[in-house]
Copies of this chain bind each other. A is one copy, B any other.
């Protein structure tokens, strides 16, 4: 079992990648563990080179989110194997955003069940994997995706609830779809807020429609909540559906700010005045640091 008291400064090191090291450095601050960079070089031909500190202690924690994951997965494979080579006997991945969690079933025969395959690779490289709000749809526990390893799921509900409590006065929370319900309920209860949940239909990567219950109130400050925003179409469709109720304002808060392409611009055009996110993925909307939450798992 995972022992929360097992880390100390003398035998544990936190490693981050210099291209986005703030969460890793803050995690080091909260846990009072030493921090070092993993140097990353990307060659002109598309290959990557990583360099770790040449002396590693027994326990090594690598902190890196896995958005835009393919390069990062290969670089993690290089880093993990090199850490073992350099003597790390216990290797922990802290990935505030975990990739490939949505492809959890073969919708058509022959499709890769990527969640399981990538999960097994991570399990092979790391003794423990810690993440925040993974998008688990058809499985209940992260350990079903990352077997034979310590798979720890945190939720950003508390940091998000705290942020909303400081920033808004009696807003109405809106979950776009059934998948968000449990999580929106948790945030709402932490601050004693009201909430509604929509119903989503997805046609493809870019096209979704949202139906909302009629109970949504006019002239309220509405906060759309979701765990991850990629193309932003879910938030966009929800905002467009909400316009009919003449809200006082619409904002959005997401744990994971993927926001690919023109997603943020589309949200603005759909009438979302403010978009906030945790710092699981580096983005201009980051407002809610996760380091303190992550430190509770170590």
Contact = CB atoms under 8 A, between A and B. Distances in A.
A248 interface: no
Helix, strand, loop or mixed for chain A's interface? loop
Interface in A44-86: 44-54, 67-71, 73-75, 77-79, 81-82, 85-86
B78 A114 contact: yes
B78 A260 contact: no
A48 B70 contact: yes
Contact of A51 (B44, B82, B112): B112
A47 B114 contact: yes
A49 B103 contact: yes
A49 B110 contact: no
A44 B81 contact: no
A50 B205 contact: no
A112 B44 contact: no
A282 B43 CA distance: 19
Contacts of A52: 110-112
Interface of A: 43-54, 67-71, 73-75, 77-79, 81-82, 85-86, 99-100, 102-103, 108-114, 116-118, 120-121, 205-206, 230-231, 258, 260-261
